[in-house]
Amino acid sequence: MNSSEHLTSQYVMVIDVDRCTGCGACMIACAIENNVSPAHPDATDRTGVTWMRVVKVDSGKNGNGQQARFLPLPCQQCAAQTPCVTVCPQNAVEVDESTGIVFQMPQRCFGCRYCMAACPYHARYFNWWDPEWPEGMEQTLNPDVAPRMRGVVEKCNFCHGRYHAARAAAAEEGHPTSDNVRYEPACAQACPTQAITFGTLADEESGVGELIRSATAFRILPKLGTEPRVYYLSELKWIRQLAEREKELPTGEEVHG
């Protein structure tokens, strides 16, 4: 496989910000799929574990003139100069060249949290406490994903359990297994307004290729050169400016995120 084939066979997520209603279904679906436990009593928005986090951003004006939107923020799966890979002393983070997915391996992680400091998207989470479910609820855990212990970092991996299950299913059906097997992460499946699209550029049916070429597509902090594999769509200029941070905002306007 040459490098251009690599790029087209790698997975891409496209999130339509104008369709997101901030319902949080993606966050809950993600937590259930990946066996992330309910919050510890002491957990806060800084110490919690939310692989997919939806944040409310606004255009900064007060009152009636203010616009707001919800911005779902999973790991951006950086394709170039992946900051977390560069800093990890344990090689606990790797980029899978065939799928483009940035994998976190909790078995190797010893919890130094360099990767969290390096991540410009704040998409990595540290387990400050052991995972704990109310009595009996552990029966509802996803059999495809092992719970992690305290002291390790974790993050979105585009539902790796589903990826492997899809490959296994394709193999069972006798299809020639390839790396870019079609599957859907939990957040995309759960979204009630279908704001999240997922697939590879090679898979034309997924529609991601067309979406990322649209005029309303943008990525977060592109000037860092990390080439995120998560794209966003919005017709609102202020939200693109907020995400790209490339231009000065109009005088007197601020953005809050």
The residue ranges that bind another protein (CB under 8 A) are 18-19, 21-25, 27-29, 31-33, 35-36, 38-39, 41-45, 47-50, 53-56, 58, 60-64, 66, 68-70, 106-108, 110, 130-131, 133-149, 152, 189-190, 192-194, 256
Residue with smaller CB distance to another protein, 134 or 174: 134
Residue with smaller CB distance to another protein, 7 or 105: 105
Query: Least CB distance from residue 173 to another protein, whole Å?
Result: 16
Of 157, 49, 153, nearest to 102 by C-alpha is 157
Distances (CA, A) of 20 to 15, 24, 53, 79, 206: 8, 9, 12, 25, 19
Q: Is 123 strand, coil or helix?
A: coil
Residue with smaller CB distance to another protein, 52 or 201: 52
Query: Least CB distance from residue 32 to another protein, whole Å?
Result: 6
Which two tokens mark 101? 């997915």
Residue with smaller CB distance to another protein, 41 or 176: 41
Calpha distance 115→57 (Å, rounded): 25
Query: Least CB distance from residue 254 to another protein, whole Å?
Result: 9
CB 198, CB 12: distance < 8 Å? yes
